[in-house]
Copies of this chain bind each other. A is one copy, B any other.
Amino acid sequence: MKACGLIVEYNPFHNGHVYHMDQAKKVTKSDCMITVMSGSFLQRGEPAIIDKFHRTRAALRTGIDIVIELPYAYAVQNSDIFASGAVQLLNEIGVSNICFGSESGNISYFIEAYENYKEKEPIFQQELKLGLSAGLAFPEASKLAYQRIGLTTKELDLAKPNNILGFSYVKTIMDQKLAIEPFTTQRTKNEFHDQIITDKIASATSIRKNLTENNQIDSSVKNTMPEATIEQLLQYKESSGLWHTWEDYFQLLLYRVLTMSSEELKEIHGVNEGIEHRIMKTATKATSIHHWIELIKTKRYTWTRIQRIFTHILTNTTKKEVQKSLNNTPPYIRILGLTKNGQAYLNEKRKEISIPIIFGFKKNTDPMLIMEERATRAYYSVLQTNPRNRLFHQEITAPIILKK
């Protein structure tokens, strides 16, 4: 069997994702679709609107065969670390190719850009350093450095979020000389931050906004998602009581910050350069998560960066343990769910896979899994007792197996 890898967050799984999945299957001519998906918290440092298991179920019912969890240590990170974790996991499970959406839509531009980059890497690093020391945030500084070394062209704008991610995937594949062929399909509309829902395709951001503001699935947003997603969104809300947003975590995060010393805060992953004092000083003034971030924000500390820091505080994730985890390649493949077709693929490939395949949390001695468990526990902490304890149990007894 030939497998295609997709790197996703599915927050939630919508028609744009279905379209990309179908395209990917077609252009790569694969017969097994494997995704690496963020778990409880997302790359931009936000809680997922519904939990990983409900997002997994929606994906499996709509055409995905295997859902692998992207470990927390890779997931809530900048695009380079995120990409490298995801691509390595797909490589371990033996995909022949990966396919990503991009603004550019032409893989040859990415490959050219990579070759160009390798020649000029020292200058890139120097430019990046300059940008950072001038007070720019990491994404800004790297965009600028890409421009300076001439990587951004008319055909490949490395200031666009999906191009940046795509470039990181290609970089990982080529740096590590992985036997994976990269493909890209063009994202035609609804860029990252679009907040308007027009018809059947809308961005995940606009869908989440619509859902959490209206607290129901109205007819406009209903058109933008496959049936299985609507079902899972409704089921999660009915059984767990809410669709998660950062504001649900305000009391917990505030409590945590208010009872930490600044020494403890400094040990949290992402807390550097004295930002701990800013976080603490603003804590007793904040009236919401949104307001708190506004109070902390600077040119260097962007919204996303603060959200990631907030996530690491909430999940009690330290610099030390992240560093320790990232020093090695991924130690396991955790499967959140799979179809019959996915099982057949696994049976065929199992002997070639060199790292353990795990499902639940029975033996969580690996530092990366310990972080994962804490993150998931923090994620569910805003729920009432009954759904919470039941969902903790689900984390132990995963995966979801779809028999169809």
Contact = CB atoms under 8 A, between A and B. Distances in A.
Interface in A364-401: 370, 374, 377-378, 381-382, 385-386, 389, 392-393
A368 to B, nearest CB: 14
Contact of A378 (B255, B287, B315, B374): B255
Contacts of A259: 314-316, 374, 377-378, 381
A261 B393 CA distance: 19
Contacts of A255: 252, 255-256, 377-378, 381
Interface residues of A, number: 28
Chain copies in the assembled complex:
2
B287 A381 contact: no
A188 interface: no
Nearest to A316: B259
24 contacts: A251-B252, A251-B382, A252-B252, A252-B255, A255-B256, A255-B377, A255-B378, A256-B256, A258-B374, A258-B377, A258-B381, A259-B314, A259-B315, A259-B316, A259-B374, A259-B377, A260-B316, A261-B370, A284-B389, A284-B393, A285-B389, A287-B385, A287-B389, A288-B385
**3 tightest Cβ-Cβ pairs between the two chains A and B:** A258-B377, A255-B381, A259-B316
Interface of A: 251-252, 254-256, 258-261, 284-288, 314-316, 370, 374, 377-378, 381-382, 385-386, 389, 392-393
